[in-house]
């Protein structure tokens, strides 16, 4: 280290006037202080001097990294820039533009779904409703003709000429179900027939029209059998005419057809634009000139002839009523009131449903039929009668064990009285006991 003292500094000789020495000394001291500070700065390590130089610090670090393979990081005195302040958190109700739009869409969808009412089922057209009342008449796999169900009645109107001998007839309804039918009434003159279903009861049918079917603006249609199923088809009516019916009886004001009709379409209803019946397709005979026989021709039986035909239906031409197969009496107990079963017909619907008959306290009691309470045998008979053969009915029963239960019975037609007697003959009467006194035979009377 170089030591500098005040004595080593020689005074500077300057020509000219004498200078104030105290002032010179003052300047010398200041200069000495500056030199001292400079020498002290030279003694500081290069790393300390390079702290304020980023490039020099980087090169210094790289050199040290080459000398030492993995030196630990050394803290530097350089201050890193502080990261920019984070934005304040959004408010609870603040949303991004995209999120806000999505939220609005969800709210609108939820509101629309909440306010939207369930869609009502599409109303059937007139043609679809009419098809519900049209049936196909067949014998086995052979289609014979067509018919229409009387609304609220269940019986079927058709043409007599399509039925042949009238045996083994079946009808096919709109839903594909089948039912055996019997001929209940017929009219040979107008070629009309009424069929009685022997099971079930179709709920939908057709009604009569009061409009003139041959007016100019009328839109008339009928039905044809396509692959064993009814299908609507337009029908042309040319007017009215006279024909010959069965037994050579004259038919007045029949509907004259301008369309061709297949034999398998006979019996089909003729409908107006409102879906109401104005006639039924039948078969008649057109008179010929001279002695020639009449020619078979299809025609439409008008509504007035159909009404007259239905007025002559016998009261016995009705669907068979359902049969339960029991005998009973009205009874009121401590826990229930209904019809106590006193007897059960062997093999009948009640017997198949395991109903038990007998004395009071030992038999079942019928309380309700299909939800309708019954307390007398007459009420029970009426509740069963309104249901058709083949229907399944739930019965509420109070058993002899003091428990309520529900049973389901399948109604059948009542057996013929003579056949039932032959199948179930009455047991022979027991002979009187030997101790019983014998009655005297009455004395013969003179004739």
Q: What is the pLDDT of residues 251-269, one digit of tens each?
A: 999 999 999 999 999 999 9
How sure is the predictor about 343, in pLDDT bands with cuts at 50, 70 and 90?
very high
Q: For the chain, which domains are there? A: 127-311 (2.40.10.120), 322-416 (2.30.42.10)
Average pLDDT over residues 225-252: 92
pLDDT at 19: 47
Write phi, then psi, for 145 (nearest 5 degrees): 180, -160
pLDDT at 283: 95
Write phi, then psi, for 285 (nearest 5 degrees): -140, 125
Q: Kindly give, in sequence order, each residue whose CB lies less than 8 Å from that of residue 36, ignoring residues fewer than 6 positions away.
A: 4
Tokens of 346: 């062997």
User: Which range, 287-296, 314-323, 417-426, is most confident?
Assistant: 314-323
pLDDT at 436: 41
Tokens of 385: 């009668």
pLDDT at 119: 65
Percentages (nearest 5) of helix, strand, coil residues in the chain? 25, 30, 45
How sure is the predictor about 290, in pLDDT bands with cuts at 50, 70 and 90?
confident
State the chain's mean pLDDT as an integer.
78
302: pLDDT strictly greater than 90 = yes
Distance CA 163, CA 137 (A): 8
Q: Kindly give, in sequence order, each residue whose CB lies less than 8 Å from that of residue 81, ignoring residues fewer than 6 positions away.
A: none
The CA-to-CA distance between both ends of the chain, in Å, stands at 189
Average pLDDT over residues 307-320: 92
pLDDT at 423: 38
pTM for this predicted structure:
0.61
The secondary structure of 110-174 as a DSSP string is HHHHHHPPPPPPPPPPHHHHHHTTEEEEEETTEEEEEEEEBTTT--EEE-GGGSTT--SEEEE-T
**Comparison of pLDDT for 299 and 140, the residue scoring more:** 299
pLDDT digits (tens, 9 = 90+) for 9-61: 444 444 444 445 566 566 777 777 666 666 655 554 444 444 444 455 444 55
Evaluate the CA torsion angle 300, 305, 309, 310 in order and state its sign.
Answer: positive
Residue that the structure tokens 């030992």 belong to:
362
Tokens of 405: 């239960």
pLDDT at 418: 45
Average pLDDT over residues 337-364: 93
pLDDT at 444: 39
**Max CA separation in the chain (angstroms):** 212
Q: DSSP state, 445?
A: P
pLDDT digits (tens, 9 = 90+) for 365-419: 999 999 999 999 999 999 998 888 888 999 999 998 899 999 999 998 888 644 4
pLDDT at 122: 77
pLDDT at 6: 47
Provide the pairing of β-strand 237-244 with 229-234.
Answer: unpaired
Q: DSSP state, 335?
A: S
- CA atoms in the 13 A half-sphere facing the CB of 232: 17
Average pLDDT over residues 343-371: 93
Tokens of 181: 């039918």
Distance CA 340, CA 322 (A): 19
Q: Which among 24, 3, 4, 29 is positioned nearest to 12, based on CA atoms?
A: 24
Distance CA 276, CA 100 (A): 59
pLDDT at 385: 84
The pLDDT > 70 percentage for the chain reads 67
Distance CA 156, CA 32 (A): 140
Average pLDDT over residues 133-143: 94
Q: Answer whether 136's CB lies under 8 Å from 156's CB.
A: no
Average pLDDT over residues 354-364: 91
275: pLDDT strictly greater than 80 = yes
How sure is the predictor about 291, in pLDDT bands with cuts at 50, 70 and 90?
confident
For the chain, helix (H) and strand (E) counts, in that order, are: 9, 21
pLDDT at 145: 96
Q: Answer whether 253's CB lies under 8 Å from 242's CB.
A: yes
Q: Answer whether 71's CB lies under 8 Å from 64's CB.
A: yes
Residue that the structure tokens 């299908």 belong to:
231
Triad 42, 43, 49: Cα angle to 5° = 65
How sure is the predictor about 87, in pLDDT bands with cuts at 50, 70 and 90?
low
């Amino acid at each position: 280290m170089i030591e500098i003292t005040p004595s080593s500094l020689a005074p500077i000789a300057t020509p000219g006037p004498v200078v104030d020495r105290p002032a010179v000394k003052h300047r010398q001291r200041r200069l000495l202080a500056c030199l001292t500070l400079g020498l002290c700065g030279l003694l500081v390590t290069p790393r300390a001097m390079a702290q304020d130089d980023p490039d020099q610090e980087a090169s210094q670090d790289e050199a040290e990294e080459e000398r030492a393979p993995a030196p630990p990081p050394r803290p530097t005195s350089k201050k890193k820039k502080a990261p920019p302040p984070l934005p304040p958190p959004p408010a609870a109700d603040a949303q991004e533009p995209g999120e806000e739009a999505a939220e609005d869409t969800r709210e609108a969808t939820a509101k629309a779904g909440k306010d939207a009412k369930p869609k009502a089922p599409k109303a059937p057209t007139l043609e679809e409703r009419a098809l519900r009342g049209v049936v196909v008449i067949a014998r086995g796999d052979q289609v014979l003709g067509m018919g229409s169900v009387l609304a609220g009645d269940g019986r079927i109107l058709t043409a007599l000429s399509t039925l042949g001998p009238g045996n083994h007839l079946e009808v096919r309804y709109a839903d594909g179900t089948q039912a055996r039918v019997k001929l209940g009434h017929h009219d040979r003159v107008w070629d009309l027939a009424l069929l009685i279903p022997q099971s079930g009861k179709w709920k939908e049918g057709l009604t009569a029209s009061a409009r003139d079917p041959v007016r100019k603006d009328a839109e008339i249609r009928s039905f044809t059998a396509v692959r064993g199923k009814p299908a609507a088809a337009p029908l042309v009516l040319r007017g009215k005419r006279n024909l010959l019916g069965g037994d050579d009886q004259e038919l007045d004001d029949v509907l004259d057809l301008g369309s061709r009709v297949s034999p398998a379409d006979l019996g089909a209803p003729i409908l107006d634009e409102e879906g109401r019946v104005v006639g039924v397709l039948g078969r008649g005979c057109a008179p010929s000139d001279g002695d020639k026989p009449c020619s078979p021709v299809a025609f439409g039986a008008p509504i007035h002839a159909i009404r007259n035909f239905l007025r002559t239906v016998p009261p016995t031409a009705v669907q068979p009523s359902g049969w339960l197969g029991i005998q009973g009496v009205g009874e009121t107990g401590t826990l229930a009131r209904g019809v106590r079963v006193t007897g059960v017909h062997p093999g009948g619907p009640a017997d198949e449903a395991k109903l038990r008959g007998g004395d009071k306290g030992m038999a079942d009691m019928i309380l309700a039929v299909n939800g309708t309470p019954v307390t007398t045998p007459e009420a029970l008979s009426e509740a069963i009668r309104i249901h058709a053969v083949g229907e399944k009915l739930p019965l509420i029963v109070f058993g002899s064990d003091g428990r309520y239960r529900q049973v389901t019975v399948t109604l059948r037609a009542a057996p013929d009285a003579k056949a039932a007697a032959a199948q179930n003959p009455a047991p022979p009467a027991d002979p009187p006991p030997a101790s019983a006194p014998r009655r005297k035979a009455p004395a013969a009377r003179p004739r």
